[in-house]
């Protein structure tokens, strides 16, 4: 998959630019809905990734881009669900996550990408 970091708050996938968090499921890209996780913001100081969100569990590996500085909190329930589903989570700063996506065919990409902090 063609993926690159443009700047804080902006990435490019397959030639299209995004200025919001995204979810990629088998190459299909959609905006990440943070609404299910907003209630946990106070606990983390930032809206975390929670198991209540639409997480793309379809592959054997889930790549999570945790932001420019790696600040996206991932709630314990996400890790637990991944273990139960036998899905490996690779949680790394977004620029590194985008590099990992370059090595995978679009149809095999399952990821959540945070574009800011």
Burial class, 59, CB count within 10 angstroms (exposed 0-12 / middle 13-18 / buried 19+): middle
**Token couple for 81:** 């669900």
What's the pLDDT score for residue 4?
Answer: 96
What's the pLDDT score for residue 78?
Answer: 98
Domain coverage including residue 99: 3-114
Which 8-state DSSP code applies to residue 29?
A: E
Q: Residue 33: which pLDDT band, with cuts at 50, 70 and 90?
A: very high
What's the pLDDT score for residue 59?
Answer: 96
Averaged over 95-114, what is the pLDDT? 96
Query: How many domains, the chain?
Result: 1
Average pLDDT, the chain: 97
**Token couple for 40:** 């946990």
Q: Write the CATH number for 10.
A: 3.40.1230.10
Per-residue pLDDT of 42-79, as tens digits, reads: 999 999 999 999 999 999 999 999 999 999 999 999 99
């Amino acid at each position: 998959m063609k993926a690159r970091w443009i700047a804080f708050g902006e990435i490019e996938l397959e030639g299209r630019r995004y200025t919001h968090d995204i979810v990629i499921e088998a190459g299909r890209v959609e905006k990440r809905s943070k609404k299910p996780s907003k209630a946990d913001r106070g606990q983390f100081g930032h809206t975390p990734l929670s198991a209540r969100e639409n997480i793309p569990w379809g592959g054997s590996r889930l790549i999570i881009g945790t932001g420019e500085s790696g600040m996206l909190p991932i709630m314990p329930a996400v890790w637990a669900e991944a273990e139960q589903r036998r899905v490996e989570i690779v949680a790394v700063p977004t620029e590194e996550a985008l590099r990992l996506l370059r090595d995978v065919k679009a149809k095999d990409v399952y990821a959540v990408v945070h574009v800011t902090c």
